[in-house]
Chains A and B, each alone.
Chain A
Amino acid sequence: MPAFLFKRLLNAAGVMLAVAFLAFLIFRFVGDPVELMLNEQASQAQRDELRARLGLDKGFALQFATFVGNALHGDFGISFRNQQDVFTLIAERFPATFELVLVATVLSLAVGIPLGVYTAIRRDSLPAKALQFLSVLGVSLPSFAVGILLILLFSVTLQWLPAFGRGEVVQIGWWSTGFLTPSGRRALILPGITLSLFQITLVMRLVRAEMLETMRTDFIRFARARGLKLRAIHFRHALRNCLMPVITVTGLQIGNLIAFALVTETVFQWPGMGLLFVQAVTFVDIPVMAAYLIVASFIFVSLNTLVDLAYAFVDPRLRDDAISGAANAH
């Protein structure tokens, strides 16, 4: 196990370095921050001077090396636009994104699994077919459109829920949470639904496919022959055997949700990391973009590692394989 972990950590470092490298390659094409930082009255000399002070006049290799060197010390610099410490900026916004993703994930499991089971066991019924059709819509509707529709319905017409923001938040140490206030919880509903919609359909279709597969297996047939209640067969026997891929996909999707919540965050002015990143791109805020990409890749890599570990933990066959495999390899 320690060898496995060590290998994983090395992998993570490699991935993050590669991401940073690619990011820096891209930054050369996103534009020139200096033209945005100075206003219309600044002279050419002032522009050149600022460019030099930010180190933007240096070559690509040197800029990249400087960034990696500083990042190793945990120093990501300060934002060109906000002049705030980049690490603080991201840390401030992480709780907002994380809570949103958490709500979306719970929603997707709570809604997606029952729907998946239902569409599998009643697969020829009309509601199941309608759900199947709706799920295609759910996959294909862009989340900004869903978000706006929800806002128009629940904020403008019915005036039940807020159209934007996080409501009142409570500060616990460096973590800010919206779970502890009524307005904070209300604010989570619309963005949570928007973000989870794709996820719900994903979980539903996955569960459905797995259920159909499992229902064909012998042990289900024997269970039926034994005269067990259908309910017990469906939920205790069949569903349990379907959950493995659901856990995997959900775990991996958390990374996706965190990294790509930015559309939902922009629509709902949700003060998370995605909104920060969108703003950084608009203003060519290189330190923020670089740090965001590093943090996002870190989350991806660690989630992947966790899922691998969880897999090994849940499924004994895999665990033996992984351990003996790792032992054999070294």
Chain B
Amino acid sequence: MKKHWLLAAVAAFALSGAVEAKTLKWGAAREIASLDPYSFGETFTLAVLNHVYEGLVRYTGDLKIEPALAESWETVSPTVWRFKLRQGVKFHNGNPFTADDVIASLARVTHESSPLKGNLPAYKSSKKIDDYTVEIEVNGPYPLLLNDLTNIYIFDKEWMEANNASLPTDAGKGVEGYATNNANGTGPFKVESRRADSKTVFVKNESWWDKPQHNIDRIEFTPITSASTRVAALLSGEIDFTNVAPLQDLPRLSASPDVKVLQTNELRTVIFAFNLKDALVESDVKDKNPLKDKRVREALYRAIDIDAVQKRAMRGLSRNTGAIVAPAIPGYVPKMDERLPFDLNGAKKLLADAGYPNGFSFLMNCNTDSLVNEEEFCQAVASMWSRAGLKPNLNMAPRSQQTPKRVKGEFDVISFGWANEPMIDAYSILVQVMRSKSGTGGVFNWGNWGDPRIDALTDKAGVELDNAKRIPMMTEALMIAKNEHLFIPMHQQPMAWAMGKAVEATVQASDNKPRLWLTRMK
């Protein structure tokens, strides 16, 4: 009898142990590219790997920068930053974290074959002062180094050397790298196993330097590319969490008592951008470009019934805006958010004043798989423009096919989304999209839009270290673009996560990055 009782107690103990080990099953919309954070320039891969690897600094749940592997920092001169590193931090393999690791990681990410080199554009060199102090030198005064460093994850130098992974994997050379299938970071979770396209298992790092706010012991990450299957898996309880809940299924998910939907708006702001070169690409107006006339751009703007777009195409989930950046982006001010009202007659009159009473035809280029409900809102806007007498020729195809055409400037109007990630600062859109093409800027200035005043302000803001002066410069540049109607702002697109009843709470920031180290389970 006593023996039985003992057995039962042992069994109960074992059971309670099993119950207490909390496993979160995460169903994502796609697989991460690799376990190597310096492999593919993709925000999602970086967001997942942030559970394993960490940077010197990180974003909090409300997108403020806070110390991570660095404890503090100061600028020694306008171009030299000194970082004091956190002591007592250990990599998952037990190696201590020191200045050498930082320097080796910076060398790896800025190597010429690294696809993430662009994430640290101002980097010049780094040097070790002592085991826990590093100095980073930048090309010129550069205000956004910390923002950039949030996404530069730190590797263990010894581990990289032992496994011949000190350089990033070069797809051109065709040789697989060790870090692609193995990971050794300092983060809150360790990689236990990985089977691509099926399951990647992360387990809690018991010796994490930070005090864990999560209570998760194990994360099973599974990509489920088919949206309906993902929804089904959530409803059947096979997954506990998804960071991509399909918008068309939100009513159904919300109706389920076991599922909670978290819905908000992303940082990504959707706009229409124009071909502002000397002639249109595909039009019945051959000799000039009507879009260069501000009145025509204003007409296109006024012809859009944004409420109808929001209600129909975006299922009432987007946030209409008159600004080109989201409210959370430094550089935004509330007065930017006001839109020109929808005014069809006004639009027709403006077109007539500009000399196009019968409108004109132009080529409109949209993706099928890039922005949220892009097909729907492009079709809606195209028909609204038709109602104003214009003749948009809507061309839709997958992003992989449209991007080369866009880069070559083969469009008259494009739908365009910019999140200002990873730096979360308006400087991103100013230098990459709005600035005229130059050696370093204007990579996405595909339509030759822009303004010399914006260029000057962007360049000034790029070297201004004082935020009190820098942010107003960016605001001024954004206001110029707004007043000239260089772009037609549309909306911040919706994002939705969903979680099963096992998950108690998580932090959903508008950068759309899951942070499971801030997630609690029941």
**Docked pose: A50 CA to B169 CA in angstroms:** 12
Question: Interface digits, A37-81 against B, CB 8 Å rule (1 contact, 0 not)?
Answer: 111111111110110011100000000000000100001011111
Task: Tell me whether B432 and A40 are in contact (CB under 8 A).
Answer: yes
Question: Interface digits, A83-97 against B, CB 8 Å rule (1 contact, 0 not)?
Answer: 111001100110000
Task: Tell me whether A39 and B41 are in contact (CB under 8 A).
Answer: yes
Q: For B199, what are the chain A residues with a Cβ–Cβ distance below 8 Å?
A: 165
Interface residues of B in 455-481 (CB under 8 A from A): none
Task: Tell me whether B222 and A269 are in contact (CB under 8 A).
Answer: yes
Task: Tell me whether A83 and B34 are in contact (CB under 8 A).
Answer: yes
Task: Tell me whether B171 and A155 are in contact (CB under 8 A).
Answer: no
Asked if B33 CB lies within 8 Å of chain A CBs, one says yes
- Per a CB cutoff under 8 Å, which of B112, B235, B400, B439 touches A283? B400
- Per a CB cutoff under 8 Å, which of A32, A38, A75, A151 touches B41? A38
Task: Tell me whether B172 and A53 are in contact (CB under 8 A).
Answer: yes
Given A31-B403, A83-B39: A151 and B180 interface contact (C-beta under 8 Å): no
Task: Tell me whether A42 and B236 are in contact (CB under 8 A).
Answer: no
Asked if A324 CB lies within 8 Å of chain B CBs, one says no
Asked if A133 CB lies within 8 Å of chain B CBs, one says no
Q: Which residue of B lies closest to A152 (CB)?
A: B232
**Docked pose: A214 CA to B30 CA in angstroms:** 52
- Per a CB cutoff under 8 Å, which of B238, B401, B437, B444 touches A164? B238
- Per a CB cutoff under 8 Å, which of B117, B196, B400 touches A282? B400
Q: For A162, what are the chain B residues with a Cβ–Cβ distance below 8 Å?
A: 238
Asked if B185 CB lies within 8 Å of chain A CBs, one says no
Minimum C-beta distance from A47 to chain B (A): 7
Task: Tell me whether B222 and A164 are in contact (CB under 8 A).
Answer: yes
Q: For B33, what are the chain A residues with a Cβ–Cβ distance below 8 Å?
A: 81-83
Q: For A41, what are the chain B residues with a Cβ–Cβ distance below 8 Å?
A: 41, 118-119, 121, 422-423, 428, 432
Task: Tell me whether A42 and B171 are in contact (CB under 8 A).
Answer: no
Task: Tell me whether A83 and B176 are in contact (CB under 8 A).
Answer: yes
Of the 9-residue stretches B11-19, B223-231, B333-341, which lies at the interface with chain A?
B223-231
Q: For B176, what are the chain A residues with a Cβ–Cβ distance below 8 Å?
A: 78, 83-85, 88
Asked if A271 CB lies within 8 Å of chain B CBs, one says yes
Interface residues of B in 388-430 (CB under 8 A from A): 398-401, 403-404, 407, 418-419, 421-423, 428
Number of A-B contacts (CB under 8 A): 183
Q: For A40, what are the chain B residues with a Cβ–Cβ distance below 8 Å?
A: 41, 418-419, 421, 428, 432, 444
Asked if B113 CB lies within 8 Å of chain A CBs, one says yes
Q: For B118, what are the chain A residues with a Cβ–Cβ distance below 8 Å?
A: 38-39, 41-43, 46
Minimum C-beta distance from A212 to chain B (A): 40
Asked if A109 CB lies within 8 Å of chain B CBs, one says no
Task: Tell me whether B222 and A39 are in contact (CB under 8 A).
Answer: no
Minimum C-beta distance from B472 to chain A (A): 23
Task: Tell me whether A43 and B225 are in contact (CB under 8 A).
Answer: no
Task: Tell me whether B233 and A164 are in contact (CB under 8 A).
Answer: yes
- Per a CB cutoff under 8 Å, which of A33, A36, A39, A269 touches B229? A269
Task: Tell me whether A163 and B232 are in contact (CB under 8 A).
Answer: yes
Question: Interface digits, B99-113 against A, CB 8 Å rule (1 contact, 0 not)?
Answer: 000000000000011
Task: Tell me whether A32 and B403 are in contact (CB under 8 A).
Answer: yes
Question: Interface digits, A250-287 against B, CB 8 Å rule (1 contact, 0 not)?
Answer: 00000000000000001111010001101101111001
Task: Tell me whether A75 and B198 are in contact (CB under 8 A).
Answer: no
Given A32-B404, A41-B119, A163-B236: A80 and B171 interface contact (C-beta under 8 Å): yes
**Docked pose: A279 CA to B235 CA in angstroms:** 25
Asked if A156 CB lies within 8 Å of chain B CBs, one says yes
Question: Interface digits, A7-46 against B, CB 8 Å rule (1 contact, 0 not)?
Answer: 0000000000000000000000111110111111111111
A: contact size bracket: 35 or more
**Docked pose: A224 CA to B462 CA in angstroms:** 95
Interface residues of B in 33-81 (CB under 8 A from A): 33-34, 36, 39-43
Q: Which residue of A lies closest to B407 (CB)?
A: A35
Q: For A266, what are the chain B residues with a Cβ–Cβ distance below 8 Å?
A: 225-226
Given A53-B172, A82-B34, A275-B225: A37 and B41 interface contact (C-beta under 8 Å): yes
Task: Tell me whether B404 and A31 are in contact (CB under 8 A).
Answer: yes
Minimum C-beta distance from B442 to chain A (A): 8
Task: Tell me whether A43 and B440 are in contact (CB under 8 A).
Answer: yes
Question: Interface digits, B206-246 against A, CB 8 Å rule (1 contact, 0 not)?
Answer: 00000000000000001111101100110111100000000
Asked if A111 CB lies within 8 Å of chain B CBs, one says no
Q: Which residue of A lies closest to B228 (CB)?
A: A148
Task: Tell me whether A30 and B225 are in contact (CB under 8 A).
Answer: no
Minimum C-beta distance from B511 to chain A (A): 13
Asked if A159 CB lies within 8 Å of chain B CBs, one says yes
Asked if B450 CB lies within 8 Å of chain A CBs, one says no
Q: Which residue of B lies closest to A151 (CB)?
A: B232
Task: Tell me whether B117 and A46 are in contact (CB under 8 A).
Answer: yes
Given A36-B400, A83-B176: A156 and B229 interface contact (C-beta under 8 Å): no
Q: For B432, what are the chain A residues with a Cβ–Cβ distance below 8 Å?
A: 40-41
Given A30-B401, A75-B174: A163 and B229 interface contact (C-beta under 8 Å): yes
Interface residues of B in 154-181 (CB under 8 A from A): 169-172, 174-177, 180-181
Minimum C-beta distance from A150 to chain B (A): 10
**Docked pose: A147 CA to B43 CA in angstroms:** 31
Asked if B484 CB lies within 8 Å of chain A CBs, one says no
Interface of A with B (CB < 8 Å)?
A: 29-33, 35-47, 49-50, 53-55, 70, 75, 77-85, 88-89, 92-93, 144, 147-148, 151-152, 155-156, 159, 162-166, 266-269, 271, 275-276, 278-279, 281-284, 287
21 interchain pairs, CB-CB under 8 A:
A31-B400, A31-B404, A35-B407, A41-B428, A42-B117, A43-B439, A44-B437, A54-B172, A81-B33, A81-B40, A83-B36, A83-B180, A89-B196, A156-B232, A266-B225, A268-B229, A269-B198, A269-B223, A269-B225, A269-B229, A271-B196
Q: A31-B400, A43-B439 are in contact. List 12 more A-B contacts (CB 8 A).
A: A32-B407, A35-B400, A35-B403, A37-B40, A38-B41, A39-B422, A40-B418, A43-B118, A77-B174, A78-B174, A151-B228, A269-B229
Interface of B with A (CB < 8 Å)?
A: 27, 30-31, 33-34, 36, 39-43, 112-113, 115-119, 121, 169-172, 174-177, 180-181, 195-199, 222-226, 228-229, 232-233, 235-238, 369, 398-401, 403-404, 407, 418-419, 421-423, 428, 432, 437, 439-440, 443-444
The 7 closest A-B pairs by CB, nearest first: A39-B41, A31-B400, A42-B118, A53-B172, A271-B197, A77-B174, A41-B118
